[in-house]
């Protein structure tokens, strides 16, 4: 399944929240992302049907293997692009905001080249 940007954002959010707390629920995602509960419910249903997440009877959400792979890839891009942009002199907030937009559309080849460039740049 070709996952849309919004689906990738939900998976990345679930990953981040799962690193911060023992359990992730729809309400946690709603609070973190600032989206309405109906929007979260719809997205959770889509991700569950596509086998990216599991939801147990208590409503706790976990990533499946494929969901975790997507989430980790997007989160790695987010962190890498944010770091590169800040090393280029972009403010932390703007760098994070721009990385969030770029992480979903950049090719693997281009990301690898940017990561290699970032490794060669002096610390800012």
- Domain that includes residue 61, residue range: 5-69
What is residue 62's three-state secondary structure?
strand
Q: Are 95 and 45 within one domain?
A: no
Q: Are 95 and 39 within one domain?
A: no
pLDDT tens per residue, range 29-45:
999 999 999 999 999 99
Total number of domains constituting the chain: 2
Looking at every residue in the chain, the average pLDDT score rounds to 92
pLDDT tens per residue, range 12-27:
999 999 999 999 999 9
Q: Are 60 and 80 within one domain?
A: no
Q: Are 63 and 15 within one domain?
A: yes
Global pTM value: 0.87
Q: Are 31 and 57 within one domain?
A: yes
Tell me, what's the pLDDT at 72? Answer: 96
Q: Are 58 and 91 within one domain?
A: no
What is the b/e burial string over 48-67, where b = at least 16 CB atoms within 10 angstroms of the residue's CB? eeeebbebeeeeebebbeeb
54: part of which helix (H) or strand (E)?
A: strand 53-55
Q: Are 39 and 58 within one domain?
A: yes
Confidence of residue 124 (pLDDT cuts 50, 70, 90): low
Tell me, what's the pLDDT at 2? Answer: 58
């Amino acid at each position: 399944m070709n996952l849309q940007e919004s689906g990738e954002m939900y998976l990345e959010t679930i990953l981040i929240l799962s690193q911060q707390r023992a359990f992730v629920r729809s309400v946690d995602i709603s609070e973190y992302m600032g989206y309405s509960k109906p929007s979260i419910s719809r997205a959770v249903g889509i991700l569950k049907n596509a086998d990216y997440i599991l939801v147990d009877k208590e409503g706790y959400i976990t990533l499946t293997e494929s969901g975790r792979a997507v989430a980790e890839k997007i989160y790695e891009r987010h962190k890498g692009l944010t770091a590169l942009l800040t090393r280029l002199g972009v403010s932390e907030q703007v760098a994070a905001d721009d990385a969030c937009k770029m992480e979903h559309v950049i090719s693997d080849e281009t990301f690898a080249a940017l990561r290699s460039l970032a490794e060669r740049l002096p610390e800012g």
